[in-house]
């Protein structure tokens, strides 16, 4: 994918597995992509598609059974997979900020939010006084559009709404000025009005600070209004990657077409059922030899079962992995 400028994050042929009693679960398989300063990249896919595991691998925050078994991750030119504990700590605290789906599991329910933000600021800025850190905490809460920020410092997490708690999580994540912000399903637990406010906040944070934002979501509708580029994942692999307009108006992969069809349409007639891609994701204990989407694809051909398709470059910014894109392939149109 050709995007001008050197990438902030570069992932090359990443493979991550979980070693369980049942065997090796190949959660991420040969994933490569780039992300640049100042862009918002959406990573879309169903549960189990490998999107969260990819970014837990990038930050090396995998659980004990998870292991990166191949590939390369570079952040700001540094090899993340070769970093020491001290370097990783610095990376997670100052290089990369993270926001998760449910803020109540990340915030300490027994501490005022002001104390939690001040702790975060002072942990990475030893020379700053408590008073200066509190002033900075107010500025951070203002930057995430929390009204009466100074008064809210004394609030406990349970006193805030879900949307306000998520804003606090963004404030904590940007407290140390990260270059990359990973937001994993930040709007999933919120109603649509609050969801729209959080997406607006994500865009304004990028505009204000030029931070690169990775927005992980299962909802293609969320990326449509927020992101410049989209990566579509399925079965631990990237199925399609492109600019948001390419993904929506020049959709190349049958799985992306299915995701697009499953976005609720305001013009849909009352009795119409919402579309969902039939079937279930592949078992990554024993991943399919050919195309990961074969079992659920209504356009599958004989070749798809046996051979994994390569990536076809459809434009400098758009690529997809599907045999349908190869006009010369002799097995094309052969039926299942
Ligand atoms: Fe469907 Fe074959 Fe394309 Fe896979 S490669 S998405 S099975 S047509």
pLDDT digits (tens, 9 = 90+) for 48-105: 899 999 999 999 999 999 999 999 999 999 999 999 999 998 898 889 998 887 767 7
Side-chain half-sphere CA neighbours of 277 within 13 A: 22
Q: How far is CA 24 from CA 66, 139, 282, in A?
A: 10, 47, 14
**Residue 11, number of CB atoms within 10 A of its CB:** 23
Residue with the bigger pLDDT between 190 and 310: it is: 310
297 CA: nearest ligand 1 atom:
1
- List CB contacts of 131: < 8 A, sequence separation 6 or more: none
Taking the centre of ligand 1 as the mean of its atom positions, its distance from the CA of residue 300, in whole angstroms, is 5
- Asked whether residue 2 carries a pLDDT value surpassing 60, the answer given is no
Kindly report the pTM of this predicted structure.
0.91
Closest CA to 27 of 75, 72, 67, 71: 67
- Kindly report the CATH class assigned to 9-263+276-283: alpha beta
Q: Which atom of ligand 1 is found nearest the CA of 294?
A: 7
Using CA atoms, how far residue 47 sits from 11, 44, 183, 217, 329, in Å, is 21, 10, 16, 9, 32
pLDDT of residue 307: 95
- Give the other-Cβ count within 10 Å of 117's Cβ: 22
CA distance 127 to 93: 17
- Ligand 1 pocket list (CB less than 6 A): 254, 291, 293-294, 297, 299-301, 304, 309, 322-324
Rg (CA), the chain: 21
pLDDT digits (tens, 9 = 90+) for 162-172: 888 989 999 99
Phi, psi of 175 (to 5 degrees): -60, -30
Atom of ligand 1 nearest to the CA of 323: 5
Distance 39 CA to ligand 1 centre (A): 30
Domain spans, the chain: 9-263+276-283
Q: What is the pLDDT of residue 22?
A: 94
Q: Is 233 helix (H, G, I), strand (E, B) or coil?
A: strand
């Amino acid at each position: 994918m050709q995007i001008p400028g050197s990438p902030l994050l570069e992932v090359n042929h990443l493979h991550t597995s979980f070693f369980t009693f049942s065997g090796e679960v190949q959660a991420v398989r040969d994933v490569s992509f780039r992300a640049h300063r100042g862009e918002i990249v959406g990573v879309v896919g169903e549960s189990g598609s490998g999107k969260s595991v990819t970014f837990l691998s990038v930050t090396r925050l995998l659980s004990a059974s998870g292991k990166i078994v191949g590939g390369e991750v570079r952040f700001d030119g540094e090899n993340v997979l070769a970093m020491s504990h001290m370097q990783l700590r610095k990376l997670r605290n100052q290089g990369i900020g993270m926001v998760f789906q449910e803020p109540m599991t990340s915030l300490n329910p027994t501490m005022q939010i002001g104390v939690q933000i001040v702790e975060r600021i002072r942990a990475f800025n030893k020379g700053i006084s408590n008073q200066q850190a509190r002033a900075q905490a107010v500025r951070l809460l203002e930057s995430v559009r929390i009204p009466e920020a100074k008064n809210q410092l004394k609030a406990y997490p349970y006193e805030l709404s879900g949307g306000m708690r998520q804003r606090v999580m963004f404030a904590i994540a940007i407290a140390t000025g990260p270059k990359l912000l990973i937001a994993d399903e930040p709007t999933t637990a919120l109603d649509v009005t609050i969801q729209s406010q959080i997406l607006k906040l994500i865009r304004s944070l990028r505009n204000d600070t030029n931070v690169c934002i990775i927005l992980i979501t299962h909802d293609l509708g969320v990326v449509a209004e927020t992101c410049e580029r989209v990566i579509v994942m399925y079965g631990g692999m990237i199925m399609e990657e492109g600019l948001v307009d390419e993904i929506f108006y020049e959709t190349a992969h049958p799985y992306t077409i299915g995701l697009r069809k499953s976005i609720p349409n305001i013009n849909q007639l009352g009795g119409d059922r919402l579309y969902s891609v039939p079937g279930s994701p592949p078992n990554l204990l024993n991943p399919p030899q050919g195309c990961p989407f074969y079992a659920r694809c209504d356009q599958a051909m004989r070749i798809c079962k046996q051979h994994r398709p390569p990536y076809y470059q459809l434009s400098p910014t758009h690529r997809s992995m599907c045999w349908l894109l190869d006009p010369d392939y002799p097995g094309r149109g052969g039926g299942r």
